[in-house]
């Protein structure tokens, strides 16, 4: 499918660039693993624009924010069919269609919503469902290819070889460029990679959650797979803007997370205090230190912090040029290793869907 002619698209790009007035910004690039997929060193997680962190935000404001991100050098955008559901892909598609050849779009299949509650429900990675989901995502994203197509959660009822085979067919058809997994364990990663090269794994990873360091990072390095950390700022906690007195909208899913009870937030402030001390010395913010720490771990790590505000986007981007010295990193490692964080990151139902 094609959307628009070359001439009008170029004119629209030029108009957006002129309006932005941000021609002087240079964003560093990274490649995801051994693939040829090159993206901005920091991407943009788009979920919160439409779901999970309170009511959906104004559509036109979010379109402006997405386009502002492109003009600031962000080329990597993350969404999923289940965000909304469906409305986030539509938003990303409308915002980025005029700029399509300048960006990399990742989306996901296989995680359903419980229609009664809006919460994440079951999984479905049957090959026939993957094919249907891909066609629907292509339409919502207003594009003819998905740059990075992740299995959102492992489906214990479908062999991962069948999942990888279905995505491989989509790649052969030109509808998908790269295959990804999300929250998968090392055995699943190896089995999938044997059928179709896995370009990226999307997992939670930050100073707030370091589980990938136990096994996953070594396997990714061995196989040449990139890591795309979601929630690199601890769902906002590592910014220092949240404390035990913070109240969330009733529709904000953080209300259901054990690590976000008032007691846990009060106890876990010690991690934010560590980041704030380093930030004061580096003339930075806690969020920038948290992101710079992630970027310093491996050259094939590309975090995707989410935001709805251009000012926060600019703040996050500042982490790319922030250099943490070996001494800084040792200090963070030494101090953080003594911190015991309180509260699980997910309730039991969601925790059971990870690391398979």
**Is 204 strand, coil or helix?**
strand
Q: How far apart are CA 254 and CA 262, in angstroms?
A: 11
pLDDT at 6: 44
Q: Is the pLDDT of residue 120 over 60?
A: no
| pLDDT on residue 112 | 85
83 catalytic per annotation: yes
146-194 pLDDT tens trace:
999 999 999 999 999 999 999 999 999 999 999 999 999 999 999 999 9
Tokens of 125: 């990675």
Nearest to 199 by CA among 215, 218, 176, 233: 176
Mean pLDDT of 317-339: 97
pLDDT greater than 70 at residue 234:
yes
Q: What is the pLDDT of residue 21?
A: 38
| Domain range summary for the chain, segments of one domain joined by + | 16-351
Q: What is the value of pTM for the model shown?
A: 0.91
CA distances from 112 to 115, 137, 262, 314, 318 (A): 9, 14, 29, 33, 35
pLDDT at 321 over 60: yes
State the pLDDT confidence band at 43, using cuts at 50, 70 and 90.
very high
Confidence of residue 332 (pLDDT cuts 50, 70, 90): very high
pLDDT-above-70 percentage for the chain:
90
SS3 31: strand
Contact criterion met (CB below 8 Å) for 242 and 304? no
pLDDT number for residue 26: 74
The residue annotated as part of the active site, out of 83, 149, 150, 205, is 83
pLDDT mean over 263-281: 98
* H helices, E strands: number in the chain: 13, 11
Residue 330 confidence (pLDDT): 98
Name the percent of the chain lying above pLDDT 90: 87
Superfamily of domain 16-351: NADP-dependent oxidoreductase domain (3.20.20.100)
Whether 125 has a pLDDT exceeding 60, the answer reads: yes
Contact 260, 6 (CB under 8 A): no
pLDDT of residue 116: 35
Per-residue model confidence as pLDDT tens digits over 61-74: 999 999 999 999 99
Triad 183, 235, 303: Cα angle to 5°: 60
* b/e code 237-272 from CB counts within 10 Å (16+ = b): bbbbebeeeeeeeeebbbeebebbeeebbebbbebb
Provide the mean pLDDT of the chain: 92
Provide the pLDDT confidence category of residue 23 given band limits of 50, 70 and 90. Answer: very low
Q: What value does the mean pLDDT take over residues 198-204?
A: 98
Report the pLDDT averaged over residues 192-210: 98
Q: Residue 118 pLDDT more than 80?
A: no
pLDDT computed for residue 25 by the predictor: 53
Stretch 99-125: mean pLDDT: 80
Residue 20 pLDDT level (bands cut at 50, 70, 90):
very low
User: For 127-148, what is each residue's pLDDT tens digit?
Assistant: 999 999 999 999 999 999 999 9
């Amino acid at each position: 499918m094609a959307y628009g002619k070359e001439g009008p698209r170029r004119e629209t790009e030029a108009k957006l660039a002129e309006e932005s007035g941000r021609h002087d910004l240079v964003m560093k690039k990274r490649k995801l693993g051994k693939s040829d997929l090159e993206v901005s060193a920091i991407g943009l997680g788009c979920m919160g624009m439409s779901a999970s962190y309170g009511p959906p935000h104004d559509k036109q404001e979010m379109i402006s924010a997405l386009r502002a991100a492109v003009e600031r050098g962000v080329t990597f955008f993350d969404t999923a069919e289940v965000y909304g559901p469906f409305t986030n892909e539509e938003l990303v598609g409308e915002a980025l269609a005029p700029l399509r050849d300048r960006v990399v779009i990742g989306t996901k299949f296989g995680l359903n919503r419980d229609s009664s509650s809006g919460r994440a429900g079951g999984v479905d990675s049957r090959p026939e469902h993957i094919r249907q989901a891909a066609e629907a995502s292509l339409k919502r994203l207003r594009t003819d290819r998905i740059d990075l197509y992740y299995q959102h959660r492992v489906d214990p009822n479908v062999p991962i070889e069948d999942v990888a085979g279905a995505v491989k067919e989509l790649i052969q058809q030109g509808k998908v460029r790269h295959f990804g997994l999300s929250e998968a364990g090392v055995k699943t990663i190896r089995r999938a990679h044997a059928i179709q090269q896995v370009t990226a794994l999307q997992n939670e990873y930050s100073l707030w959650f370091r589980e990938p360091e136990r096994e996953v990072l070594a396997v990714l390095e061995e196989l040449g797979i990139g890591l795309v950390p979601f929630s690199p700022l601890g769902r906002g906690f590592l910014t220092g803007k949240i404390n035990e007195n913070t109240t969330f909208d009733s529709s904000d899913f953080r209300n259901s997370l054990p690590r976000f009870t008032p007691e846990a937030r009060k106890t876990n402030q010690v991690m934010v205090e560590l980041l704030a001390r380093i930030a004061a010395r580096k003339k930075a913010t806690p969020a920038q230190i948290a992101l710079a720490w992630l970027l310093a771990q491996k050259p094939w790590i590309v975090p995707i912090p989410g935001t709805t505000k251009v000012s926060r986007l600019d703040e996050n981007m500042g982490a790319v040029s922030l250099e943490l010295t070996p001494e800084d990193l040792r200090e963070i490692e030494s101090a953080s290793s003594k911190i015991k964080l309180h509260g699980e990151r997910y309730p039991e139902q969601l925790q059971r869907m990870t690391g398979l």
